Amino acid sequence: MGPWQPWLVIPAIAVFAVLAAVSRAPRCRVGLALVTGLVFAAGNLGWDLLAERAGWWSYPQLDTATAPLWLYAIAGLIFGAGVGLIGWRTIRRHGWRGAVAFLAAFTVVGVIRDCTVAHRYADVIRFGDGASPWIVDAMAWLSLAALVQATHRLG
């Protein structure tokens, strides 16, 4: 069954808890981070639907255009909520320079993650040919990071 295992939500909760502690965010900010995790998950789902229709990437093991919903929950907890708190703290401390650094790092790490998963588990996610899918993947990660930080700004 490979990485398609719902029990992985449990370590994702632990990762979120560690990132929340490292960020030293107050409880109300941690609560908002959970909302940003939902925002991230919804945006991630939207990008996957668009990508599958455009032929940029797909999940070949599945009969659907998207990954299982619990996988979006994991991504939302780790990247949207947890890493989002690190971004919030970085931007709060370093201003626009922190924002640029965080958004760039988030995008680069996201694309490297996707490239690694695609090469290691070709049956899990498959990217289309050429540079376009990877450029769009970078745009997806950048837009999701910006969306999470914009949601933090509302709080």
**Of 20, 74, 16, nearest in space to 44 by CA:** 74
Q: Following DSSP, what letter does each residue of 49-102 receive, concatenated?
A: HHHHHHTSEE-TTSSSSS--HHHHHHHIIIIIIIIHHHHHHHHHHHHHHHHHHH
Arithmetic mean of pLDDT, 45-67? 91
pLDDT digits (tens, 9 = 90+) for 95-150: 999 999 999 999 999 999 999 999 998 888 999 999 999 999 999 999 999 999 99
As to burial, measured by CB atoms within 10 angstroms (0-12 exposed, 13-18 middle, 19+ buried), residue 110 is buried
Confidence at residue 11, expressed as pLDDT on a 0 to 100 scale: 95
Q: Please give the residue that has the higher pLDDT: either 63 or 132.
A: 132
Confidence at residue 123, expressed as pLDDT on a 0 to 100 scale: 85
pLDDT digits (tens, 9 = 90+) for 70-104: 899 999 999 999 999 999 999 999 999 999 999 99
pLDDT > 80? residue 65: no
Two tokens at 124? 């899990």
Confidence at residue 1, expressed as pLDDT on a 0 to 100 scale: 43
Confidence at residue 126, expressed as pLDDT on a 0 to 100 scale: 94
Confidence at residue 3, expressed as pLDDT on a 0 to 100 scale: 53
Q: Return the axis-axis angle of helices 132-154 and 27-54, rounded to nearest 10°.
A: 150
Q: Following DSSP, what letter does each residue of 94-139 receive, concatenated?
A: HHHHHHHHHHHHHHHHHHHHHHHHHHH-TTT-EEPSSSHHHHHHHH
Domain ranges in the chain are 7-12+28-154
Confidence at residue 6, expressed as pLDDT on a 0 to 100 scale: 77
Read off the DSSP letter of residue 155: -
Read off the DSSP letter of residue 24: T
* pTM to 2 decimal places: 0.92
pLDDT > 80? residue 63: no
Q: Please give the residue that has the higher pLDDT: either 2 or 32.
A: 32
CB 12 within 8 A of CB 76: no
